[in-house]
Amino acid sequence: MPTEPKNQRQKAPQGWRMDPIPSRPAYRDDEGRIRVPMWLTKNGRHTADTEMVLLPSEAALLADNLANAMHENSRSMLHEIFRQSTTAPGPGVVYVPKPERHQF
């Protein structure tokens, strides 16, 4: 039965790619723009550290689009934790009913 060698390396994605730098948070500059530190790579090789610069309205639109993409066809973490004990009337809104109090 043919098998692939164990040490075969995965090929890096070809072309340009931008990834956020996990250790550097986004911030607002002195002119009110939102700056997101990014790594720029080409064919899997680091080329430069740079920043994505957005107007506040562009950052809000990007945040909305990312939130929609993350929640599309998926369940929120709170919904998974509480399962049947919660109701989620909308994105980011979770209703957790109080447990019934027992009178002694």
Is residue 90 in some structural domain?
Answer: no
Q: Which pLDDT score, from 0 to 100, does residue 96 have?
A: 56
Residue 41 in this model has a pLDDT that exceeds 60? yes
Q: Give the model's pLDDT for residue 34.
A: 94
Average pLDDT of span 67-91: 60
Domain boundaries, position 21: 16-82
- Any domain includes 88: no
Could you give the C-alpha distances from 21 to 38, 65, 72, 95, in angstroms and in order?
Answer: 5, 20, 25, 34
Q: Is there a domain that residue 48 lies in?
A: yes
Range with lowest mean pLDDT among 11-25, 33-47, 62-76: 62-76
Q: For residue 71, what pLDDT band results from cuts at 50, 70 and 90?
A: confident
Q: How many domains does the chain have?
A: 1
- Beta strand extents in the chain (DSSP E only): 16-20, 27-28, 34-42, 45-54, 87-90, 93-95
